[in-house]
Structures are given as C-alpha cells and as structure tokens.
Amino acid sequence: MNSTESKESRIKRVDMHKYFLDRIKKSMEEKNYITASWLIYSCFENRYFRTVQKVREYCAYCRSKSKCNHKRKNELSIKTKIKCLQRLHENSADCISGPFRYELFQETIDWVEYRNTLMHDLLVLDYYEETDDMFKTCAENGLKLLNETYNSCTKFRRKFYDPKYKFEFPKAAMDGCPCRPKPKEKPED
C-alpha cells in the first residue's frame, strides 16, 4: 500500500510536528505547563486523526453515507478516534495491535479527561493555588504518553505501508463503530 500524499506534503508535515514538539519542550522548560498541556492535546488529536484517517476508508460504515463519511476533516472526538483504534486492537488488526500497547488507549483517554477537567476548572477559585502543580503533572504525564504515541504511529505507518501488508478492517471492529447506522425502530401497533 502506498501513501496517498506527496513526498513534499509529508516532509512539510514532519517539519510541522517538529515545530510543535519543540514548542512543547520549550513550554516545559519555561514551566508553562498550561501551554504544554494544550499543545500535547493538539498533537494527540492529530496523531489519532491521521491514524484513523488511513484505516477508515476500509470500514464499510465510513465508506457509506454515515456520520463518519461526513466528517472527513478532524471533527470526530478524540475519544471516538481512540476507541476506533482500540476496537481494531481488540480484533487483532496487526497494524494496530503490533505497534500500539493496548493500555495506551485508555491511558490517553484518562489523560484527556484529566486535562479537560483542568482546563474547565482553570479559573475556579477552589483550585487556583494548585493549578501550577496540577498542570505540571498533566504536562509531564501527557508528554510521556505522547512520545509513546508518536513511536507507535511511526511503527503503524511502517506496517500499514509495507508492500507485503494488506489491511482488512475486522467486521467485529466495524460493528462497534458509532458511525454504524442504527437499526430503524418498528412502529408499535
């Protein structure tokens, strides 16, 4: 399987990621953990979107006229993206189950929920004095997960684009997809 993007586009994307990873590093060095947490979240969004984007064209529900088909841009929630990959892992899709540690998915979801809670509670007086410590922990933990995610995504791409590899979307993974059309309810007599 070959990449559908031009080499120039891929090189530009590598530069973009380096730029944001450098910004995260700088934010951490400057103890600006809120910014670091925000950028880490954005990188997670992108990594999971890019991975799901590659496999979803093989999903029967994403090829049809479904919610998924209307969300070609990065509009699915991060949890939806992660859970898609988690279902693929559970159903032994080799390009996912090999590169990704299964627990990484739930750990990332837990981190996202913690980070979102911190962001929503940012200007709550009850937490004001603890904000720096909480965001420091958030940023440090998020960065560890992000580094693992980047490594897993690199391994995924190598496997996915290996000319000898043929990806097949397991039906059981498709059946758990929120993009799967819901059965129409029969009207009561």
pLDDT tens for 93-148 read: 999 999 999 999 999 999 999 999 999 998 887 877 889 999 999 999 999 999 99
The whole-model pTM stands at: 0.87
| 113 vs 119: CA distance, rounded Å | 10
Q: Look at residue 38 in the predicted model and tell me its pLDDT.
A: 97
pLDDT digits (tens, 9 = 90+) for 2-29: 666 777 887 888 899 999 999 999 999 9
Q: Is the pLDDT of residue 82 over 80?
A: yes
Percentages (nearest 5) of helix, strand, coil residues in the chain? 70, 0, 30
Q: Is the pLDDT of residue 33 over 50?
A: yes
Residue whose token pair is 């910014």: 35
Find the distance separating the first CA and the last CA of the chain, reported in whole Å.
52
Give how far Cα 100 sits from Cα of 47, 76, 117, Å.
Answer: 13, 20, 26
